Every structure is written in C-alpha cells, then in structure tokens.
Amino acid sequence: MELTAREIAAHLNGEVEGNPDLKVSGFARIEQGTPGTLCFLANTKYEEWLYKTKASLVIVNKSFKLKQAVPYTIVWVDDAYRGIAAMLDLYAAANAVKKKGRERPSHVSWRAKVGKDCYIGAFAYISRGAKIGNNVKIFPHVYVGDGVTIGDNSILYSGAKIYAGCHVGKNCILHSSAIIGADGFGFAPDAEKNYKKIPQIGNVVLEDDVEVGANTCIDRATMNSTIIRQGVKLDNLIQLGHNVEIGRNTVIAACAAIAGSTKMGERCMVGGQAGAVGHLHIGNDVMLGAKTGVSNDLADGESRGGWPDMPVGLFRRVSVLLRKLPELFLQVSALEKELKKISENKN
C-alpha cells in the first residue's frame, strides 16, 4: 500500500511539514527506519533516533519540540501512538483475509447454520446446532462444538477450540490454540480424600470486540456463564477460571491468571504474570503491576504491586529496601557488636 504524506495527514487530521507529495509504502520502528518507510515517535526514550533515523516520514506529537532540523517529512498529530495505530489499521484492512468458501476436507454438520461470505478452512469441524454469522473466518483445524454461536466478522485462527454451548460475539478474534469453554477446575474430596469431579454445566460468553491470545484458556462456568465483556483484550497464555467476569475494555497481559468466581471491573490493566485468588471483587480502573498477587477485594482506581499486593507506591519503596537488605544486615550486626562492647565495659 502506497500513501502520500498529504493522504496520511488527512487520515490522521494532522499537519505536514516537508514534502506533502512524498510517498511511503511500508512501516518500521524508528530505530530501523529506511527510505520509503513510515515511523513514529510517541515515547521520548527513543528521541535520539528522531535525529538518526533513515525513514522518509515520521509521525510526531504536536506537543514535541525539535532540537534540530531533520531531513525527512513530518506529520504532526495530537497523539502519535494513536496515529500509528490508525495507519496500521488502515494497512490491515487493505490486506485483510479475503478468503471465502469451504475447503475440503472439513466437516459442517447439516444441522449447523453458516452465514454469508464465510471461510471454513481444511480440517475444521463445525458441530450440530452451531450458528455461524456472516463473514466469519474459520481457519484450518478449528473445532466448533455443539450449539456454539459465533457473531458476524469474527476470526478463529488455526487450532482454536470452542466447546459446546459457548457464545462468541461479533468482531472477535481467537488466536491459535485458544480454548473457550474447557471445564472449570472443580473437584470435591470424599471421605477417603479422593477427588470427585464436579460437572461444569455452564458456558463461556465472549461479548463483541473481544480478542483472545494464543494458548489462552477460558473455563466454562460451573453454572451460568463465565463472561468476558465487550472490548476486552487478552494476551497469550492467560488462564481465566470458571464463573470469572471481566469488565468492558479491560486488558490483561501474558501469563496472568484469575481464579474462579472473581469479578473484575471495567477498564482495568493487568500486567504479565499477575494473579488473583478466587471469589474476589476487583473494581473499575484498577491497575495491577507485573507479578502482582491479589488476595483481597480492590476498590475502584487502585494501583497495586507485589505479593501480597500493596499500594504501588509502597511496593516501589519496599523493592528499593529489598536491594539494600544485605547492607542493612551488616550495619545492624556491627551496631549489635558495638552495643555488646558498651554493655560489657559498663559491667
């Protein structure tokens, strides 16, 4: 896809400084820019590359002040990060999967309903009672269980599995090997301490515009539904337990785990390897740092870090002190010896 600086500025409601007729045909990180590519600067950590990049065009925040002249064309925008996201979205739309039809061998039950303009890849399996919306892309080796519903324009990449009775909304993306609706981890010990499986008879509901990363597993509810609300974005290798609810527009990074029946609010941000025990209520706009372990309810707007979790400011101070523990130990030992000498001299 080839665009001029003028077209890019118009798309982003930005302003061109330099050659408005300059054409670019690719994207690159600013430190890897080459002639003909488009880059951006949103993080001032990379400011040095603004003066060294070989890119032809760079998207920059209007609030940024150049320290020296640059040889390339600039498009000034209100938010460079959103600007590059919009350009990547435009590129992705132009290069979107155009596949339609059904490849063989694949299996679509005669009792399933498939909408218009769908793609069903080789070795995909669509079970009885499944309802597939319009323009859905189902890549090879996908499994869609009995009675599953999938909304319009959703994409299921190779190896994704959706167990019986689950619901996937419109415009959802399930990456390879995502598992929707596996049994929740429910077992009850008997008198001999043998564990008896508790049947998991609920389902999973993904609302519209949800993205689920590769190898992420969302367990079905014991009863009722595990619910992932509209706009939630899940990274790879995440585990969400049975009857968990995740609020709208929450984002969760890789390797996080939320135990059963915990309810998380809207617009939360969860760092990698963070976790929460079961049956908690976590409010809206909560931020959990990487590896945070949550064991108590959290109110709206809290920022937490560490294990056990604590206010993020306290966690930072504790982290600094932890590095100083060996030095502090030696100082305390020396003081103890001095005090012992003073005590002995008095006696």
Q: Is-same-fold flag (3-94; 101-310)?
A: no
What's CA 58's distance to the chain center, in Å? 27
Q: Give me the active site residues, please.
A: 242
Look at the domain 101-310 and name its fold: UDP N-Acetylglucosamine Acyltransferase; domain 1 (2.160.10)
- 3.30.1490.20, 3.40.50.2300, 3.40.1390.10, 3.30.70.260: CATH of 3-94: 3.40.1390.10
> What pLDDT is stored for residue 301 in this prediction?
96
Domain boundaries, the chain: 3-94, 101-310
Rounded Cα distance between 81 and 312, Å, is 26
> What pLDDT is stored for residue 338 in this prediction?
87
State the DSSP code for 4. Answer: E
> What pLDDT is stored for residue 347 in this prediction?
66
Model pLDDT for residues 64-117, shown as the tens digit of each residue: 999 999 999 999 999 999 999 999 998 888 776 678 899 999 999 999 999 999
> What pLDDT is stored for residue 97 in this prediction?
63
> What pLDDT is stored for residue 160 in this prediction?
98
Rounded Cα distance between 239 and 241, Å, is 6
Q: For the chain, list residues with pLDDT below 50.
A: none
Alpha carbon separation from 145 to 88, 101, 212, 303, 342 (Å, rounded)? 34, 20, 18, 39, 79
